[in-house]
Structure 1
């Protein structure tokens, strides 16, 4: 269904973005790949070409609005129009709010939130001129669940969800222009390796972690059959439900889990990660954090989460009586 479509993917040099590019490449599409790291981006491009795609690489810092305007222009010239635009580029800073430099928090928001807004603003005139187009925002479950020690990240993800909802309402008069949001759970990607870290501890993602290719397949499915939102992974549904019903308890559990981990984790130096500059490592699809997640493999985590939430809820009810 997507054969020979022109698809733009930001943050395509590693992790989820690279997985998304490779998934689209299997259908012989014209891909316009964007990232700051041109060396890693060209590596992704070569893998996509080997699968039959035509590929153009455009060095892009999504925190700069002019870079997105240039990206959209390059994509339009390359493909004679733009069919799908995937907002994916993102960065992460972990640490207490006061320990994290303000300029770092600002850059996280500029990249994760404003980068998506800049991308949408750059491509929307092309969509309106064509009378069609699909904008896909890879938001993550962080759009529904705040993350202690990741204040800038949470602000950006909640912001994307609000921005996207408003844009969808505004585009009601354009039935063939779709805005789709994907909410994956934690991925086995290099994101944590690239993260800025001000905790003084070695960072690891919370289990279970999902195969980034699972997200990539979900993104392609949105391009084939657009829908307003798509939860990717059973853990995403669980977290969304838990925070929606019991926000206080869910945040208390989350804070306790993160604090316990940080108290027990090995010491590590503080770093700005890839906030301001690209890194020469961790440019694969996978981060090497564990086995790719399958639905059945996560049932034990889901069951444990439900039991813990239920137990705490009952305890809270008894204390208030």
Structure 2
């Protein structure tokens, strides 16, 4: 029996990769995004892989749109088996240089969009007695990002929201709330980002193939658990901040500020914060080495050495 899977933000990047992964399993896909033209392309590709799909225009900041998405999914598949909250946006820039309406929109999209999704689908899950809600949160849920205050606020908020909801539903054994925390991904997300730094930006290495996240999410759907870290860098960064929060924050800020001082100047842009864009709608952003996780080991080794050295220095000062 094929499952009905809802994916928000399915028109590019991680969402598109996730759609392809479930299409290979011949599931019924409900593809949601503000970019309906790109969704139609994703639909055609998913159907060529063996899946069945519909496209539903959805702005996740609008609860009405999300309610409509849930209704369309139930009509399409009879039930809603899996709901994947994935749609998100990014704004880079110092806090005072980032317009407050942009910060508001980042939080409305990244945090309230996921809350809207959960609120819309839970009545269906409870009626069915089962369902899997998967939140694609990112390592940003554990690691604060300087020059991305709105993004960090939304991701830290998502972690608390999901943990609280999971505890509230502890007596509903058939309903699962799962969180995915990928490291930096090779997606077009940075290309789509609002950028008020005045400098060209790119994701920090190592970056991972979004297909790795898609496979991990498919595994979560089949075998639900509370959380999964995707990529060894995500594990390193999570525990680095847990053990050395001040040091990790200082290093992160220093790395970013040094990069911005040297980066190529560009005009400030709003990206896709308020409207869709016509560029960068593939799965990959062209930032990394997709499918070669061993290439990242040098970064992980360097990170471990750096943290070990920092830890020893702190111990000596005591």
TM-score interval (norm. to shorter): over 0.9
Distance 1:37 1:292 in 2: 25
1:178 partner SS: strand
Name the counterpart of 2:100: 102
Q: How does 1:233-248 map to 2 (within 5 A)?
A: 233-248=231-246
Distance 1:202 1:38 in 2: 28
1:21 partner SS: helix
Name the counterpart of 2:67: 69
In the alignment, which of 23, 29, 35 is matched to residue 31 of structure 1? 29
Instruction: Kindly indicate whether residue 183 of structure 2 is the aligned counterpart of residue 160 of structure 1.
Output: no
Structure 2: segments with no counterpart, 5+ residues: none
RMSD of the TM alignment (CA)?
0.9
Instruction: Please list the CA deviations of residues 272-310 of structure 1 after superposition, one character each: whole Å capped at 9, or x if unmatched.
Output: 000000000100000001211533222111110111112
Distance 2:182 2:170 in 1: 26
Structure 1 length-normalised TM: 0.98
Are the counterparts in 2 of residues 195 and 272 from structure 1 also a CA contact under 8 Å?
yes
Distance 1:35 1:199 in 2: 27
Cα deviation, residue 158, structure 1: 0.4
Distance 2:55 2:103 in 1: 28
Instruction: Please list the CA deviations of residues 182-204 of structure 1 after superposition, one character each: whole Å capped at 9, or x if unmatched.
Output: 00000000000000000000011
Distance 1:246 1:310 in 2: 10
Structure 2 length-normalised TM: 0.98
My pick for the range that moved more, 288-297 or 230-239, is: 288-297
Aligned length: 318
Distance 2:287 2:197 in 1: 20
Q: How does 1:79-228 map to 2 (within 5 A)?
A: 79-228=77-226
Cα deviation, residue 82, structure 1: 0.2
1:284 partner SS: coil
1:199 partner SS: coil
